[in-house]
Structure 1
Amino acid sequence: MTGGTPPSPPAVRCSGLRRRYGRRPAVEDVSLEVGRGEVVGLLGPNGAGKSTVIKMLLGLVRPDAGEAALLGRPAGDPASRARVGYLPELFRYQPWLSAAEVLALHVRLAGVTVPAPERHECLSLVGLGERAADRVGGFSKGMQQRLGLAVALVARPELVILDEPTSALDPLGRADVRDIVLALKARGVAVLLNSHLIGEVERVCDRVVILDRGRVAASGTLGELLGRRELRLRLTDLSPEAQARLAATGDVRRDGDGFTVALPAGDDEAAVPELVRDLVALGVRVHAVEPARISLEERLLGILRAGQEDAA
């Protein structure tokens, strides 16, 4: 019998979630999982059921069917909720409180002890360190969103659920959120991210779950969803030996004034520079090297349009 510590349960696990509002199905048979230290993106059009799924995971909405667990405990269990940070899409803080007082209040509500210097450090992390004593009623929408992110992070959560965390932020604020999400991942914190900003999801997420009309339309890693990476090269002086080297890399097709090579799955980062080095050594003149792959937005639109055609 093998000893050792058993593996930790996933940060999020749900199966067969269903929720209806009257006759309208909001969520139908949704199953998903978020591992520890994993960033999973939730994508889909308005009304796809993303926020309803999040509310069921947090115990804010009772599912009509299915099961959900956070950090190994049933959704809504106070013991698990105390270890979850949540930034809702719609939120409002008491305008007469200062930013520091908002954090102190939420720490008390979570039932954890976080010293004042650590709470101030959390405000600094989201760019509000110098506004800690200012009343929230004077904050812009973007500043309130930064405060909401601080609230989600202040109690040292093991799982962070972010519902449209960058909707009111400028490009610098969105970059800050990306850095924070990646820092959470590096610390082993799991993140479930619901966002309409597909580029943000593509930059930070390990896996993506696409919802359409309340159902999971597709899920997987970016590599699985987007397919093989391709490489477009503009070359001259291509000898037979160079053509053979090109063909050894992957499937090759003529593409206008160049060649497109479909790189094999799981290719390492050194494959492209090694190919260019070998071609140059064989006397090839390399004019351009352009990576190419279908974007996540194109893939999402394709899935949603196919769903509309099936429903028609």
Structure 2
Amino acid sequence: MTAQPAGVHADADVRAAADLVAGLPAGPAVWCSGLRKRYGRQTAVDGVSFAVGRGEVVGLLGPNGAGKTSVIKMLLGLVRPDAGDVLLLGRRARAPQARARVGYLPELFRYQPWLTAAEVLRLHVRLAGMTVPAAEQRDRLSLVGLDHRAGDRVGGFSKGMQQRLGLAVALVARPELVVLDEPTSALDPLGRADVRDIVGDLKSRGVAVLLNSHLIGEVERVCDRVVILDGGRVAASGTLAELLGQREVKLQLTDLAPAAEERLAATGEVERAGDWFTVALPADDAGTAVPDLVRDLVSTGTRVHAVEPARISLEERLLGILRNEQGDGR
């Protein structure tokens, strides 16, 4: 898990570490350490540190006011941090070259209503200083389902269509890092599925994705790791397996033979409550442990009445972390 720095982040050791990371040809797409930001008397971000690897999808979670958008703005150089360091694609975030290969979909955005969708893309290609062929720009509109509306003015687009256009803008300049701030907020279930597919394709091509979303189910489906912010600090971070704990399965069984009990014990630790058995699954399970277990139990004459997954959801884990933080007085 990502560790938070102790004390004020301003020492030479961290700056030396930043220089080391910057010198790596295949270093992380995002590296930040000790980010702090105050607005007047309000501390928005307090010592946030994490990284996003190349080809990795990281979810940024937390309640309203947790500091998620402030962190994103500091990462992108839109807001200057009061303390801390940021590297984007191996460069200092303040350098324009660092942001040249970054695609960004902000939470709140508006495009000039008199422009067509195709004109919006051309404008952002010019702003990025890139040369992207017209056919490739059309492909981006096709990717988000707007190829048939390329010549329509943006002022007539629905919120969902504008969200799709914003995603096309974030992808048009061949980014190596894509930052998505609430990318599915205005989309219907089909649109959210499209975004999941796009994120999966980006990952397969080695593009890093930092995703901020209130739709926890979407984060759970696409993210490799999660960083949970609360009160401007990192409350927890890690892979989904680390945050959610060991996977288990609950089975309602009757007519157990000794061979069935042996088979349950061979799978993992077993807890019994009446005719319900909770069995820990192997950490390296590729999805075959449960069907193989049920098959073997049936072969012993055991009657299998129910099979239920027993791992907590990311939403339950998030709520537990935030309640613990509040209980600690933060």
Displacement of 1:228 in angstroms is 0.7
Displacement of 1:24 in angstroms is 0.8
Distance in 2, matches of 1:129 and 1:302, equals 43
Q: Contact between 1:38 and 1:188, CA under 8 Å: does it hold in 2?
A: yes
Residue 193 of structure 2: which of 165, 172, 175 is its match?
175
Residue aligned with 2:80, SS: coil
TM-score, length basis structure 1: 0.96
Residue 32 of structure 2: which of 11, 14, 31 is its match?
14
Q: Aligned in 2, Cα 1:128/1:256: closer, same or farther, shift over 3 Å?
A: farther
Distance in 2, matches of 1:288 and 1:85, equals 46
- Does 2:253 match 1:235? yes
- Does 2:279 match 1:261? yes
Equivalent in the alignment of 1:277: 295
Q: Contact between 1:233 and 1:287, CA under 8 Å: does it hold in 2?
A: yes
Alignment-mate amino acid for residue 266 of structure 1: D
Equivalent in the alignment of 2:175: 157
Residue 215 of structure 2: which of 177, 197, 218 is its match?
197
Equivalent in the alignment of 1:129: 147
- Does 2:122 match 1:104? yes
Displacement of 1:280 in angstroms is 2.1
Equivalent in the alignment of 2:5: none
TM-score, length basis structure 2: 0.91
Distance in 1, matches of 2:125 and 2:274, equals 61
Correspondences of 1:64-103 after superposition (within 5 Å):
64-103=82-121
Q: Deviations over 1:28-77 (max 9, x none)?
A: 00001000000000000000000000000000000000000100001132
Q: Deviations over 1:150-204 (max 9, x none)?
A: 0000011000000000111111111111111111111111000000000000000
Q: Contact between 1:19 and 1:27, CA under 8 Å: does it hold in 2?
A: yes
Displacement of 1:251 in angstroms is 1.4
Equivalent in the alignment of 2:162: 144
Displacement of 1:274 in angstroms is 2.2
Distance in 1, matches of 2:27 and 2:280, equals 37
Distance in 2, matches of 1:113 and 1:95, equals 24
Distance in 1, matches of 2:288 and 2:114, equals 56
Distance in 1, matches of 2:104 and 2:251, equals 45
Distance in 2, matches of 1:49 and 1:60, equals 14
Alignment-mate amino acid for residue 34 of structure 2: G
Alignment-mate amino acid for residue 45 of structure 2: V
Q: Contact between 1:60 and 1:76, CA under 8 Å: does it hold in 2?
A: no
Correspondences of 1:296-307 after superposition (within 5 Å):
296-307=314-325
- Does 2:310 match 1:292? yes
Displacement of 1:7 in angstroms is 5.1
Residue aligned with 2:328, SS: helix
How many residues align? The count is 307
Q: Contact between 1:230 and 1:263, CA under 8 Å: does it hold in 2?
A: yes
Q: Deviations over 1:58-111 (max 9, x none)?
A: 000000000001000011321121100000001010001000000000000001
Residue 239 of structure 2: which of 221, 231, 237 is its match?
221
Moved more, 234-243 or 223-232: 234-243
Displacement of 1:241 in angstroms is 1.6
Q: Deviations over 1:262-290 (max 9, x none)?
A: 22433332222222222222222223222
Residue 24 of structure 1: which of 39, 42, 45 is its match?
42
Residue aligned with 1:311, SS: coil
**Identity rate, percent:** 79
Q: Contact between 2:105 and 2:170, CA under 8 Å: does it hold in 1?
A: yes
Residue 76 of structure 2: which of 58, 62, 78 is its match?
58
